[in-house]
Amino acid sequence: MKLASVVTAAGRRIGVVTGDTVAVLPAELGGLDDAIRGGSAALDAVRAAARQVTAVPLAEVRLDAPLRRFNRDILCTGWNYWDHFEESRGKREGQDPAERPKHPTFFTKGPDTVVGPYDDIAYDPQLSTKWDYEAEVALVIGADCRSVSEADAMSYVAAFCVANDVSQRDLQRAHGGQWLKGKSIDATMPLGPWLTTLDEVPDPASLRIQCEVNGVVLQDASTAQMAFPFARIIAELSWGMTLRAGDVVLTGTPSGIGNARDPQVFLNDGDLVVTRVEGLGELRNRVRLTKLH
């Protein structure tokens, strides 16, 4: 299934997307956050309810970020495409690791970063002058787990979606090179456009991922190029640390980021950022001047 959060006059509802239509489900089924936390039984109820509802054109509804009630910060993976790791070598302002990491690199970003698939990305040049784009595949955990094996890891994934980990490079450098501050500015991470359940993604290890700004494709890669595959990320992240149903895990961005280009390319007010992943959908977000300070 493709599961969306649909904004109605009565509040947010679960929407089941099929092609260019969406079945908007009744309020008693709760929101998509509830369905993900409810596991397979809740998703079965959603599937059954969708068969009883007359679908409406997708163009007639407004989609919100699929998840809004987070257990914790968004969990993220850095340096997970070797071409991206190498393109930034020598450009991290003295914060380069000596060699390629032997394990996934993890960090978090605040949940208030999340915006919907077609919402504006906040932009405040008084906070930062280096707003960068990062197309990513996001995983949504479907059941609580801890210390899972790589072989079993994907059985704890409920769905995939698309994200853009918009980052403020100068804030990263100004605060010791850590990633939290430079990736946690409010209303800067588009997420969506819906959650695509695992059964709808035949080959997660070979998905095309792209980011374009103002019609120019700046990132174009495949998840086959990842340094550490999805299952390895979950296994290592969960080692001794409980992952909860509803947790969102970003899995890294490929090469082509603005900070590594010559000349550098950073986002500005009015830019249109389009982020797409094969089979998972497309985000279309306008960068808008917003007072955040």
Q: What is the pLDDT of residues 146-164, one digit of tens each?
A: 999 999 999 999 999 999 9
Q: How far apart are CA 1 and CA 181, in angstroms?
A: 35
Asked whether the beta carbons of 290 and 113 are under 8 A apart, the reply is no
* pLDDT score recorded for residue 107: 96
153: closest CA among 228, 80, 227, 79?
228
* pLDDT score recorded for residue 258: 97
Measured at the alpha carbon of residue 83, what is the angle toward residues 172 and 124, in degrees to the nearest 5?
A: 30
* pLDDT score recorded for residue 186: 98
pLDDT at residue 6 is higher than 90: yes
Q: How many C-alpha atoms does 52 have within 13 Å on its Cβ side? A: 7
Residue 97 CB neighbours (<10 A)? 11
Q: What mean pLDDT value characterizes the chain? A: 95
* pLDDT score recorded for residue 85: 83
pLDDT at residue 177 is higher than 80: no
* pLDDT score recorded for residue 93: 64
Q: How far apart are CA 283 and CA 273, in angstroms?
A: 8
pLDDT in tens, 209-241: 999 999 999 999 999 999 999 999 999 999 999
pTM above 0.85, yes or no: yes
* pLDDT score recorded for residue 90: 66
Domains of the chain, earliest start first:
2-64 (no CATH), 74-289 (3.90.850.10)
Q: How far apart are CA 259 and CA 168, in angstroms?
A: 10
pLDDT in tens, 250-270: 999 999 999 999 999 999 999
Q: Give phi and psi for 200, each to the nearest 5.
A: -95, 0
Q: How many C-alpha atoms does 270 have within 13 Å on its Cβ side? A: 0
pLDDT at residue 97 is higher than 90: no
106: closest CA among 270, 277, 247?
247
Q: How far apart are CA 11 and CA 107, in angstroms?
A: 33
* pLDDT score recorded for residue 168: 96
